[in-house]
Amino acid sequence: MRNSVFLQACRREKTAYTPVWLMRQAGRYMPEYRALRERVPFLTLCKTPDLAAQVTVEAVERLGVDAAILFADILLILEPMGVGLEFSKGDGPVIHRPVRSGADVDRLVESPPAETVPFVFEAVRKARAGLPAHIPLIGFSGAPFTVASYLIEGGSSRNYIETKRLMYQDAGVWRALMELLVRNITAYVNGQIAAGAQAIQFFDSWIGCLSPADYRAFILPHMQSLFAGITPGVPVIHFGTDTSGLLELLTEAGGDVIGVDWRIDLDTAWRRIGHDRAVQGNLDPVTLFAPRDELRKQVKRVLHEAGGRVGHIFNLGHGILPQTPVENVVALVNMVHEGSEELKVENEEEEKIP
């Protein structure tokens, strides 16, 4: 496992080629997954370790990626808190008892994740046992702000009005909610690590709705506390979307690897983050609908922007879309491996020229 190209890149060590894995690499674009979902509801799938592990491992086998990511959902830790979580068909997650006051925070049930979501840790153990020895397993959680936004809005949102209203109106309630989420998320991901995860990714998918000033005031201290509590020695990926205005703050918050979406050139983002961190990204997921020649061109562009530096993990800027042709995803993985090997040879040849 120490020789895994993914873990080497996380540690900013030299790799034979650029490692690649993809967010939502087990998902609705795969016929095998759709067939399973016709028989099994989403929450049931998440809560059945054998099936969650099966989906996790099948994606690696189908795509040839360099890391697996556990099949789960960022909101699983909320259901035991008594908020009435439901996944409704076509509408996504719904929180029936949203949190919008101090009294709402006080009624949240706080219990150890080992007692409330043991199926997640069992899925980690089973997935780890089912994966090839050289393929790391990435555990994950939603970051506090993104989890809180679902908890407060009651589901998905466009403008996050209720979330920001609470944040601005009552700093004490906001702090109490953040501290509760940090405690639970820390225990949750450390439990995944203890069960066999070799890396962790924090999904802060909606953090881009905040200004830099609000991030610094309301989010940064809590993210720093979260990173400080993670089991030492395990690489942590800090991912968000629409974060071009927040890159320096995300780096200050923590993470061995900073995820970058497609709204900024990779080389520009890396300069702002600093080359003492690894970087993950950053192809637009919609590029996977392009003709193969264009897809190859876009892959090469990202690889050239990485410049052959140590510490680049190829990924999309967000998850694979459900309508994506699976054969294009397989082609993408091959293009990254082949293209990065070719680029490495080219760079070595250039270095030999006096």
CATH code at position 137: 3.20.20.210
Six-digit token string for 83: 């908020």
- Find the catalytic residue in 24, 62, 100, 128: 24
Own/partner pairs for 112-115, CB < 8 Å, 24+ apart? 112/187, 113/77, 113/184, 113/187, 113/188, 113/191, 114/187, 114/191
Q: What is the pLDDT of residue 92?
A: 80
Question: In the annotation, is 24 catalytic?
Answer: yes
pLDDT-derived band of residue 344, with 50, 70 and 90 as boundaries? Answer: confident
- Find the catalytic residue in 12, 29, 66, 73: 73
Three-state SS for 6-67 is HHHHHCCCCCCCCCECCCCCCCCCCHHHHHHHHHCCHHHHHCCHHHHHHHHHHHHHHHCCCC
pLDDT 10s digits, 266-292: 999 999 999 999 999 999 999 999 999
pLDDT-derived band of residue 241, with 50, 70 and 90 as boundaries? Answer: very high
pLDDT-derived band of residue 105, with 50, 70 and 90 as boundaries? Answer: very high
Question: In the annotation, is 272 catalytic?
Answer: no
Is this structure's pTM higher than 0.75? yes
Q: Specify the number of domains making up the chain.
A: 1
- Find the catalytic residue in 11, 37, 125, 216: 37
Which positions ≥6 away from 267 have C-beta within 8 Å? 305, 306, 307
154: left (phi over 0), alpha (psi -120 to 50) or beta: left
- DSSP for 193-213, please give it: HHHT-SEEEEEETTGGGS-HH
Six-digit token string for 305: 């922007």
Own/partner pairs for 176-181, CB < 8 Å, 24+ apart? 176/102, 176/105, 177/99, 177/105, 177/148, 177/151, 178/144, 178/148, 178/218, 178/219, 178/222, 179/222, 179/225, 180/105, 180/108, 180/110, 181/144, 181/147, 181/148, 181/222
Instruction: Name the nearest CA neighbour of 62 among 103, 91, 22.
Output: 22
pLDDT-derived band of residue 156, with 50, 70 and 90 as boundaries? Answer: confident
Question: In the annotation, is 73 catalytic?
Answer: yes
- Find the catalytic residue in 29, 150, 160, 215: 150
Question: In the annotation, is 34 catalytic?
Answer: no
pLDDT 10s digits, 117-142: 999 999 999 999 999 999 999 999 99
With 80 as the cut, is the pLDDT of residue 200 above it? yes
Question: In the annotation, is 106 catalytic?
Answer: no
Range of the domain at 244: 5-352
pLDDT-derived band of residue 296, with 50, 70 and 90 as boundaries? Answer: very high
Burial class of 207 by CB neighbour count within 10 A (0 to 12, 13 to 18, 19+): buried
- Find the catalytic residue in 11, 28, 183, 301: 28
Q: What is the pLDDT of residue 343?
A: 86
- Secondary structure class of 273 (helix, strand, coil): helix
